[in-house]
Chains A and B, each alone.
Chain A
Amino acid sequence: MPFSTYLDSMRDDCKELVAQLSKSFEYVSILGTDVHAEAYRADRKMSSAQDGEGECGFVIKMHNGDSFYEYSCDDIKGDKKALAEKIVNSTKTDPELYERRVKTAPVSDTPMKKDFVRETDFDKYSDEYLLSLCKNVSKKLLEKDEKVLNAMVVIQPYTVSKLFITKNRELSQHYGWANGGKMVIYNDGKMAQARDFDGAGSLAEIIAKLDKNLDKLIDLAKHLTKAQPIKPGVYDVITDSSITGLIAHEAFGHGVEMDQFVKDRAMAKHCVGQYVASPITNMHDGAAATVSVASYFFDDDGVLAHDTQIIKDGILVAGLSDLASATQLGTEPTGNGRRDNYRRKAYSRMTNTFFSKGTDKLEDMIASVKHGYMLFETNNGMEDPKNWQIQCTAEYGIEIVDGKLTENYVSPVVMSGSVPELLKSISMISDEFEVHGSGYCGKGYKEWVRVSDGGPNLKARCKLG
């Protein structure tokens, strides 16, 4: 599937509108989005094949050395002079707020013209094939064990086309990502759900994984029906890569989003250059840091993708910024300006966030634990960048006794406490590495964007409840 023909046809319209608005503003950018998604799903009783989340529209950003102004709309065809007048009028404020505008440096508009493409294989697979696959895998899961009440299987490819135009810049990007997975609801006296979801740059990879590990998934569900609540306490823990990613995300992902620096909402602003984690710890974020769900070529401010090292050998070295926050802080934006969709504001957001791998063997890490838990699978988390508290919920944990994993499962497991205490307690890091590209991240309780996170296994000490 090529770059959006619609957006391609709108290049001149964008340039014309930029020219009109440039009569009123020093900096004008237009981001056009055309995102298509499909969702195939099957379970015991139902199936569906339809459009998934999508969007098609424009957001115009303007700046004159004070506040930023934005206007979101579905189309910009027609009389550009009239549209420009409408936009200028719409973004005016009550006169009493006029004097309260921020004062900032001008926005730089470095010339660049480039078209970025990462090909997908989505066109190779028909609706019929993908839906049949979901139905077949669901059927197989249901037939494996009568205690499987339901088995849901999904495949969700999506393709992104974005066009970014300023007076000096003309960028386009086209790429795709696919998610897929399965979930069973199991009843063995007690009900439990077990999931196995993943993401990949091609449908071939998702398809290859979809009907693998079916027995393992049912076995997990069986164990979860026997899971007990954990006795609250402080334990040695080993994390799987998804929990490692959740810690990275909640602890120092949100904590270094630099729009929070501007608002004095992040303690990290005062800790750059200081030890915030164990000296064996390294952490990155960036659309260019790895290939996963958040690997775009330029962000929603037209800034090229970066690979930002956030923590280097335990020391906090850098944060993540969008255009507005970098302009106010007097720094270079890091390519982390992201929008939920064209209707929403761009904020500083994470992309692909992960701890770097270490040198330890996972089996040695488990063997080093006298009594503790290995934690698996992200459920949810919540950030607190100002006060450096953290809450991460794992789907389940397995008790470790005398250096060995037992058959004792606990669920759910809520890990909480102080971010620096947790990160400074990291004593071993495995030589394995996996990034999970099937997540979403909100800012507070809104502004959802697709993110990945992950890394190696970590050994740390923290409070579980």
Chain B
Amino acid sequence: MQLQALMMFAADAEKTQELVTLVPWTFILQIINLFIQMYLIKRFLFKPINNILEKRKELADKEIREAREAKEEADSLKDQYESSLTNAHAEAAQIVSEAQKEAQSKADALVKEAQQEATDIKARAAADIEQEKKKAINEAKDEIGGLAMDIAGKVVEKEINEADHKKLIEDFISKVGA
């Protein structure tokens, strides 16, 4: 092995430059290359990608914002519904209680009316009964009177003044009826 070979840098002056050297023009051109590369990367990678990232961010922000707005709207709607629901409950309760009250009063009135009617019917019946009774008594009185006159006529066999007799009999009956 030729170890010197490692260190021996072939200096083929015509075709290659030295291995470790600083060539001014290469140096300058490489600086220019670096800046051109920087511009190209900026123009073709960073600008479009950053644009798209920015756009996506805006989109996401917009969606979040919209979602938040929708949520707020939904919340306010919910509050509204809840309050209207509460109102409806109260109203319903009121209606029910009113209806109950009305029904109660109607029922009371009906009952009262019925009682009144019953009382009236009872009173009328009592009066009727009284009247019937009176009538029956009177009829009975007349019957008894007639009967008594017949009996008395047959007993006495004597034509007497009917008027006198009637007076006499009425006296008798009133004594008896009392």
Report whether chain A binds chain B.
Answer: no
